[in-house]
């Protein structure tokens, strides 16, 4: 799957029949500037705490996070979530806007039903959305704590579909990550669009 730019996305939406559109947030509507280097330190401490340093070293952070949730379930998931929350709350530097997409959303908030499904935290999302003056643009904003597992788990999409009584064929998921946004859409059996806001 290849990534397309914002102009292509807008053209795609306008030439299709989707009525309900779910956006990823980071790297889709904005680029969040978070100093993730702290996450590396926190993750190393977490690995030490649970004596999984070897696993982290050999398999990398993505496999490590996945392993933690799968192998050690709820208690460990909380530790992992706390790590992300701490990183976002303490090391949030600001954001870069996808101005064309933000303009499109603001102009069309009455024509379509827009939603946000993000793996970021509540504080980060609320701060950013209010700063962008977009609080009235979205029917629902879901963040990582609203679901039992973040994307690619399809639970967030399914929650929106169920609560709003949406038709799957009219619903589109937009995001920058093939492994989280697009994979979640495929599991929820809705169409998706892979975007690169920097193109």
Q: Which of 20, 24, 65, 88 binds Mg ion (CB under 5 A)?
A: 24
Residue closest to Mg ion (Cβ): 27
* CB nearer to Mg ion: pick between 76 and 114: 114
Give the containing element (helix H, strand E) for 127. helix 122-131
Residue 192 CA to residue 183 CA, distance in Å, equals: 9
- The answer to whether the beta carbons of residues 32 and 124 sit under 8 Å apart is yes
Number of residues that bind Mg ion (CB under 5 A): 4
In a 3-state reduction of DSSP, which class is residue 141?
A: strand
Minimum CB separation from Mg ion for residue 98, in Å?
Answer: 11
88 binds Mg ion (CB under 5 A): no
27 binds Mg ion (CB under 5 A): yes
- The answer to whether the beta carbons of residues 120 and 36 sit under 8 Å apart is no
Q: Which stretch binds Mg ion (CB under 5 A): 15-23, 27-35, 68-76, 102-110?
A: 27-35
Q: Which of 176, 182, 188, 190 binds Mg ion (CB under 5 A)?
A: 176
10 Å CB burial of residue 35 (0-12, 13-18, 19+) is exposed
* CB nearer to Mg ion: pick between 43 and 144: 144
Minimum CB separation from Mg ion for residue 24, in Å?
Answer: 4
- Nearest Cα residue to 188 out of 167, 157, 147: 157
* CB nearer to Mg ion: pick between 13 and 174: 174
Give the containing element (helix H, strand E) for 37. helix 37-49
- Nearest Cα residue to 36 out of 26, 48, 28: 26
Q: Which of 9, 13, 23, 26 binds Mg ion (CB under 5 A)?
A: 26
* CB nearer to Mg ion: pick between 83 and 195: 195
52 binds Mg ion (CB under 5 A): no
């Amino acid at each position: 799957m290849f990534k397309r730019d914002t102009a292509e996305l807008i053209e795609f939406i306008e030439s299709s029949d989707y009525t309900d559109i779910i956006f990823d947030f980071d790297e889709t509507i904005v680029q969040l500037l978070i100093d993730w280097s702290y996450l590396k330190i926190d993750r190393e401490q977490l690995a030490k705490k649970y004596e999984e340093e070897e696993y982290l070293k050999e398999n990398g952070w993505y496999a490590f996070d996945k392993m933690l949730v799968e192998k050690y379930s709820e208690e460990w998931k909380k530790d992992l979530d706390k790590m992300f929350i701490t990183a976002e709350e303490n090391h949030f530097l600001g954001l870069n806007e996808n101005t064309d997409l933000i303009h499109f959303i603001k102009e069309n908030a009455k024509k379509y039903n827009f939603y946000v499904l993000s793996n970021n935290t509540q504080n980060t999302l609320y701060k950013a959305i209010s700063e962008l003056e977009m609080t009235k643009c979205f029917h629902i904003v879901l963040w990582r704590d609203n679901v039992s597992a973040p994307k690619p788990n399809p639970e967030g999409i399914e929650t929106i579909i169920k609560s709003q009584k949406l038709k799957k064929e009219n619903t589109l998921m937009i995001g920058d990550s093939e492994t989280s946004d697009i994979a979640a859409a495929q599991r929820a059996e809705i169409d998706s669009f892979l975007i690169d806001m920097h193109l």
